[in-house]
Amino acid sequence: MATADVDAVVVGAGPGGSIAALLLARGGARVALVDKATFARDKACGDLVGPRALALLASLGLTAPDGREVGPMVVVGPTGRHVLLPARQGLTYPGHGLAVARLRFDEWLRAAAIEAGAEPVTARVAAVHGNVVELDDGRCLTGDVVIGADGANSRVAASAGLVDPTAVLWGFAQRAYVDQRVERPIIALWDRTPRRGFPGYGWLFPGADGTANIGLGLGLRTARADARLAVAHFDEFCDHLRHVGLLTVPVDGPRLGGWLKMGMVGTVAARDRIFLVGDAAGLVNPLQGEGIAQAMISGAAAANAILNSPGSAAARYRRQLSTSFGRYARIAAPIHAAAISGSRQRVSRLTRALTSPVIGPAIAAPWAVTWNDLIDGAPPGPATTAARLAFAVGRLATARSPIRRQIDNDLADLEALR
């Protein structure tokens, strides 16, 4: 078996892995960037790159590929009533996101990492033994550190014993492209049967090229077999969008599904020389499904911890996640779990109330800041104050949640301390 030695083996060249590889290579490290796919490769996604991802790219001097700037988002309730969530510029992020196909975005970011000096390797990782990464073509790569950026079903996380699949908050979503011009991103909260809320949501997002991205996703907790519901009910959801006047064209293109691993539950993000970033670390926002920004920011955080604190990088990285995404996940993950497991009637009542003409507009601004996890860096003002208040109430309401305790334990890596 041939063995190659590098400073860092990064497994997965999605947004998380490519940013980690780029920063490590810029810092002078020898990096192998391994992916099982030949790029450009597709990825099931709504194709919306959020404001914090754009801020990170700007801070690294990178200009994202051409896409369509997207600002305020429309949330449509089960009855067709809607609320406009504003997109306000923050102190640390722009007031817009970017719609760009993952096929292009991920290829561009991976090319930037390679240009910075990362060595591309096309192979599937079969297992990780300590800091030795075994590829399925028989080769092995040895790195001082290994970064698992290999997505929701991370081989690195499983192989290194860093994930407890029975504790993870799983989600699944399917998307297709349609030939319809859409002006604003639309989130559709849906009652599949009258007055029983679907345990997820659907979307119709603008694309860069006059097409739109349509999708349906749901939270599963640990019942992964129910992922089939996103596929089984997709056409019904499209009919619903037609019924409320949002979809005007047939949905006949290929459909692609993918897993979401949310809320940081059941995953230890780093131990010894192994680091997990992005979906591998379960960083998807459990309230609205965003994960590209989290993948890129965590990729940068892992790379910086490795470059700046080689002796204590794992603990430093976990601490950093704890004070950033962890603060949000401790509240959002228990709320997500309660909404998925709770009464469908209650969820329907809640979504109708949130999109009612009285309540919706009154809470739209703090709602946008809170569920997009944009409180840190939000500009001062009434919306930010209200969002902070909602966050404080959420903290109190979830104080005794076992899910929150699990996140705390994982971030402290209690297992390793025993």
Ligand X SMILES: Cc1cc2nc3c(=O)[nH]c(=O)nc-3n(C[C@H](O)[C@H](O)[C@H](O)COP(=O)(O)OP(=O)(O)OC[C@H]3O[C@@H](n4cnc5c(N)ncnc54)[C@H](O)[C@@H]3O)c2cc1C
Instruction: Give me the residues that bind ligand X (CB under 6 A), please.
Output: 11-17, 34-37, 43-48, 50, 124-125, 149-151, 155, 173, 175, 215, 217, 258, 260, 278-280, 284, 289-293, 295
Shortest Cβ 283–ligand X spacing (Å): 7
Q: Which is nearer to ligand X, 227 or 364 (CB)?
A: 227
> Can you tell me the distance from the alpha carbon of 72 to that of 369, in angstroms, rounded to the nearest whole number?
11
Helix axes 102-116, 15-26, angle to 10 degrees: 20
Shortest Cβ 282–ligand X spacing (Å): 10
Mapped onto helix, strand or coil, the DSSP state of residue 158 is helix
Shortest Cβ 36–ligand X spacing (Å): 4
Shortest Cβ 55–ligand X spacing (Å): 14
Sequence letter at residue 166: T
Task: Supply the Cα-derived Rg of the chain in whole angstroms.
Answer: 21
Shortest Cβ 345–ligand X spacing (Å): 27
Q: Which is nearer to ligand X, 29 or 260 (CB)?
A: 260
Largest CA distance in the chain: 67
Q: Which is nearer to ligand X, 77 or 299 (CB)?
A: 299
Are 204 and 247 in contact, with CB atoms under 8 Å apart?
Answer: yes
Shortest Cβ 22–ligand X spacing (Å): 12
Shortest Cβ 88–ligand X spacing (Å): 19
Q: Which is nearer to ligand X, 177 or 348 (CB)?
A: 177
Count Cβ atoms within 10 A of the Cβ of residue 267 and give its class: 0-12 exposed, 13-18 middle, 19 or more buried.
Answer: buried
> Can you tell me the distance from the alpha carbon of 336 to that of 170, in angstroms, rounded to the nearest whole number?
11
Shortest Cβ 257–ligand X spacing (Å): 7
Closest residue to bound ligand X by CB: 291
Are 249 and 239 in contact, with CB atoms under 8 Å apart?
Answer: no
Structural tokens at position 123: 């192979």
* DSSP one-letter string for 99-114: E--HHHHHHHHHHHHH
Task: Give Cβ neighbours of residue 20 (< 8 Å, ≥ 6 apart).
Answer: 8, 10, 147, 149, 277, 299, 300, 302, 303
Residue 233: C-alpha distances to residues 238, 255, 259, 416 (Å): 9, 13, 17, 43
Q: Which is nearer to ligand X, 113 or 352 (CB)?
A: 113
40: cis peptide before it, omega within 30°?
A: yes
Count Cβ atoms within 10 A of the Cβ of residue 115 and give its class: 0-12 exposed, 13-18 middle, 19 or more buried.
Answer: exposed
> Can you tell me the distance from the alpha carbon of 7 to that of 31, in angstroms, rounded to the nearest whole number?
6
Shortest Cβ 199–ligand X spacing (Å): 16
Q: Which is nearer to ligand X, 34 or 333 (CB)?
A: 34
Q: What backbone torsions phi and psi does residue 108 show, to the nearest 5 degrees?
A: -65, -45
Q: Which is nearer to ligand X, 318 or 352 (CB)?
A: 318
Q: Which is nearer to ligand X, 151 or 207 (CB)?
A: 151
Shortest Cβ 39–ligand X spacing (Å): 8
34 - beta bridge partners?
11, 121
Q: Which is nearer to ligand X, 48 or 114 (CB)?
A: 48
Q: Which is nearer to ligand X, 50 or 352 (CB)?
A: 50
